[in-house]
Structure 1
């Protein structure tokens, strides 16, 4: 299964330093996808009668079903613009970060395959995404030749130009009134499968929608409490107004300096909360200017296994002077320390099978990141009530994701309805809301994983604390969760139960 998973996304093993895929790119052809699907189905059949470790088998099953469901949903036919989810844009984002020398001769074929998937599909991208993707490709073509293009620059650029022309030629892209999967063939079924894969839980889209609404309501109470303490007002709209207009960055330099300081403070406190420490550090870097419009606001990139490249917290300063500085510390704790850097680096340093170290299970991975935002408050890492408001702000964003993702993909919301909901119930800046909504449109279900995972980790910790009382060791709990590697939430629950019964 690990071989199949890496064949599905061969840039990742090169990123982390796993040998064997440095000359590979994903085969996007119908024949290639179906051959991979058949391989995975065969492995899943073997897993049903295997006597291997049951936790590992649960991870194998999840990863296999995830890839099969994504192939069946034909997502690449209408995903053209955002981040790493869009094949061509993902390649352009990753190429400068890794060694492309052995695969540069295959890039043109990859881009041509992506163009062919979009060209004749009955699953049309949004018109705005066709336009933004074409504009992005024009910037690539106008830029000087990059080192990663190697000796194949001419053919690569010809294919990129061809893909741009395909995007420009599509006159029947979807409008902003039909952004969700529910408007596409088999959309309801595909979204249900993606919800199951991303959350590893039994929620329906409607249940997740209501959960988000309930969480938003409770967060308004916390806003009122901190607002009263900080500014003497419990009026949430007034608190939002002040957050949007009074606590903004003056420039990009302030933004990155704050992030660096927050990571250093977290690294100093972490030994009091974790028994295991990663062997490599975490650096903070700004997203390259050419990538900012299509990149996430912040993201983490794994360290290399040999330690030569540290983990990297990528910070996107897009619209910096329009964004609240209160989000600085909470985002650093989520993406870097003690969030994804600790989680992914420590798992990679264990003796677990590779499928356990590097599985893509968003409810676990993003659930941990969101869990550490509240954990950071327990650790005393927030420097002020202003920064605690940032913690509430990211909580509201993740709760809002439950509402708008299900709203667009299951309930038929327009893009503007989703934008308006986040504008009313979060303090996100307009550029950030636009970027986030476009991400949710092109990665259906992924945004649901954060809050679902966070709530489950908190629940498991609470049950273990109640069961063990004074014997509960927070360091041991955190080490167990991280050193188990990415697992489905139900599997994590079983591991925590076994651990707490044995203490």
Structure 2
């Protein structure tokens, strides 16, 4: 077995639900082991892999990915995030499990659910870390909604609900932190853990202070763009007034409009894509509503990979929850990011190559989310936005990602309260109150992940600009995009080496 394959097996043992989601066989009867013993055993495996990278016969790109993936999982284990991540964010173990039940087959792993819930509860009880009190209550409410629902097919004949109820009682009994101490810097070893998570998620050498300053600068520049487009749309250049109108004047009339808009945006992107990409994915991209049981806890949109065997297309999920309170303007930009030419192109093209599974499915957020954010502006170059209102939506998501640089570092490095983070996003983004609340809670529970988007986008743009300058008339945007996508999921430094080599050779 190659070292790449060993690393991939360790990754899937860390996240077996993901393996099933993308159709990798061998993990359909497994669940994550969140116990201290289980995570330390995995950590030991990863340390042994790291010790062997230098002497392995893997190529340099594979070595880079192995090092990143092993170090990334070790960083998350050492930060003990499982001991204070309980709400409905990206990585809350029980929340992830409940969402997965509507997406994948649980028939061979449902008997493991009681042990998983006990292990997750034990980590919360035997810890010097505590979640925010509001997050513990939100996590308990998520479980309560499940307990109040009719019995679901995935549960089979087992009585699982008693164990879910006991986990809910663990959450309700936790003392919890208050909102004034929201970030990692308030927890034991928090500042050091955050520095490592920043390096992990960005795959770059930025310090939290540098990222904070970068975010402030980007927010200032975005206000100039808002004023320019707002003047064209409404004859208004006052940014607070533009924000007010975006929050109140351009809302959906009903949830069906959301789905129609998403389908039309993806169709336009698919029609134009051959002019910008030499290689197109074979897998289809389907647009669907989020399953009803997940709508209250799910994000407003997300993408799930196509199955390797072609049994399931890539799927762009649109969340109709509170549709009439949401802005229409972010519909198109979100479709381009999550579906085409964003994550659907990125993940499907990699999966359809002859690369190793490690290179197809590595967890490198700066590359993955950097590409998604890059395609939001690329879509404007491609002529995909239907109106200036839709371009304002593009700026709205840009401001969210720039604001993340400020708020994530503010919370976890500078000691901001939750309310400080909320107030900053209220002043500098077009998100409504409920979106801002959800976003801030996500940043608190997944420290550093929100930094990956803008750091990745800026690096892809920088590499594109350098390649164009070096190659002159030889530069081909389709070939550049193919290069970025056909090499699989890589750290940004590795992507930089690949682009530099290509621009010299081509």
Q: What TM-score do you get using the length of structure 1 for normalisation?
A: 0.98
Among residues 2, 10, 13, which one is paired with 1:7 in the alignment? 13
CA–CA separation in structure 2 for the residues paired with 1:289 and 1:52:
45
Aligned-pair CA distance for 1:288: 2.4
Secondary structure of 2:40's counterpart equals helix
2:84 to 75, 78, 85: 78
Which ranges of structure 2 fall in alignment gaps of 5 or more residues?
1-6
- The corresponding residue for 1:119 is 125
In the other structure, the counterpart of 1:65 is 71
Which of 319, 337, 342 is matched with 1:316 structurally?
A: 319
Q: Deviations over 1:203-236 (max 9, x none)?
A: 0001000100000000001111111122112111
CA distance in structure 2 between the aligned counterparts of 1:318 and 1:427, rounded to whole angstroms: 18
- Say if 2:90 and 2:446, in contact at 8 Å, map to a contact too: no
Alignment match, 2:285: 282
Q: Does 1:243 align with 2:249?
A: no
Q: Is the 8 A contact 1:347 1:483 kept in 2?
A: yes
**Equivalent in 164, 188, 191 of residue 191 of structure 2:** 188
Aligned-residue offset at 1:75: 0.2
Aligned partner of 2:486 in structure 1 is 483
What per-residue deviation string (whole Å, max 9, x for no partner) do you get for residues 44-77 of structure 1?
Answer: 1000222310001100000000000100100000
2:40 aligned residue (31, 34, 41): 34
Distance in 1 (alpha carbons) for counterparts of 2:247 and 2:141: 30
Q: How does 1:194-209 map to 2 (within 5 A)?
A: 194-209=197-212
SS at match of 1:299: strand
Q: Output the CA distance in 1 between the equivalents of 2:264 and 2:451.
A: 30
CA–CA distance in 1 between the matches of 2:150 and 2:321? 23
Distance in 2, matches of 1:501 and 1:51, equals: 26
Distance in 2 (CA, whole Å) between partners of 1:460 and 1:395 is 19
Residue of structure 2 aligned with 1:160, choices 139, 160, 164: 164
Q: What is the distance in 2 between the residues matched to 1:238 and 1:259?
A: 27
Q: Shift of residue 30 of structure 1?
A: 1.4
| 1:267 aligned residue (265, 270, 275) | 270
Shift of 1:335: 0.2
On the 8 A contact 1:266/1:338 being kept in 2, the answer is: yes
Aligned to 2:307: 304
1:398 is paired with a residue whose SS is helix
1:225 maps to what in 2?
Answer: 228
SS of 1:314's partner is: strand
Q: Which of 358, 363, 367 lines up with 2:366 in the alignment? A: 363
Corresponding position: 1:136 with 2:142 = yes
Contact 1:318 1:431 in 2 (8 A): no
- What secondary structure is seen at the aligned counterpart in 2 of 1:300? strand
Is it true that 1:95 corresponds to 2:98 in the alignment? no
In structure 2, C-alpha distance between the alignment counterparts of 1:169 and 1:391, rounded to whole Å = 42
Shift of 1:469: 1.1
User: What is the CA-CA distance between 1:120 and the residue it aligns to?
Assistant: 2.2
Shift of 1:470: 1.0
Aligned: 1:411 with 2:410: no
Find the aligned partners of 2:320 and 2:187 in 1 and give their Cα distance: 34
Do the aligned partners of 1:82 and 1:442 also contact (CA within 8 Å) in 2? no
Give the superposition deviation at 1:151.
2.4
Match of 1:380 in 2: 383
Shift in Å, 1:122: 1.2
Q: Which residue of 1 aligns with 2:431?
A: 428
Count of residue pairs the alignment pairs up: 500
Cα distance in structure 1, aligned partners of 2:173 and 2:435: 29
Deviations 1:123-145 (A, max 9, x none): 11111111111111111112111
C-alpha separation between the residues in 2 aligned to 1:150 and 1:84? 26
> How much has 1:426 moved relative to structure 2?
0.6
**What CA RMSD, in Å, does the superposition of the two structures yield over aligned residues?**
0.9
Distance across 2 between alignment mates of 1:351 and 1:185: 44
Asked if structure 2 preserves the Cα contact closer than 8 Å seen for 1:285 and 1:312, the reply is yes
Contact 1:252 1:320 in 2 (8 A): yes
Q: How many Å separate the matches in 2 of 1:280 and 1:225?
A: 39
Residue 317 of structure 1: how far off its partner (Å): 2.4
Take 1:300 and 1:94, find their aligned partners in 2: how far apart are those partners? 13
Give the conservation status (yes or no) of the 8 Å contact 1:319–1:431. no
Q: Residue 372 of structure 1 aligns to a residue in which SS?
A: helix
- Shift, 1:360, TM fit: 0.5
Deviations 1:246-295 (A, max 9, x none): 11111111111111110111011101100111111111112223322321
Write the deviation string for residues 389-428 of structure 1: whole angstroms up to 9, x where unpaired.
Answer: 1111100000000000001011011111111111110101
Task: For residue 317 of structure 2, give the secondary structure of its aligned residue in structure 1.
Answer: strand
Deviation at 1:476, TM superposition (A): 0.5
SS for the counterpart of 2:157 is helix
Q: Is the 8 A contact 1:294 1:435 kept in 2?
A: no
Q: Which runs of 4+ in 1 moved over 3 A?
A: none
Contact 1:199–1:452 (Cα < 8 Å) also in 2? yes
Checking the alignment, whether the CA contact within 8 Å between 2:330 and 2:390 is kept in structure 1 is yes
Give the aligned partner of residue 113 of structure 2.
107
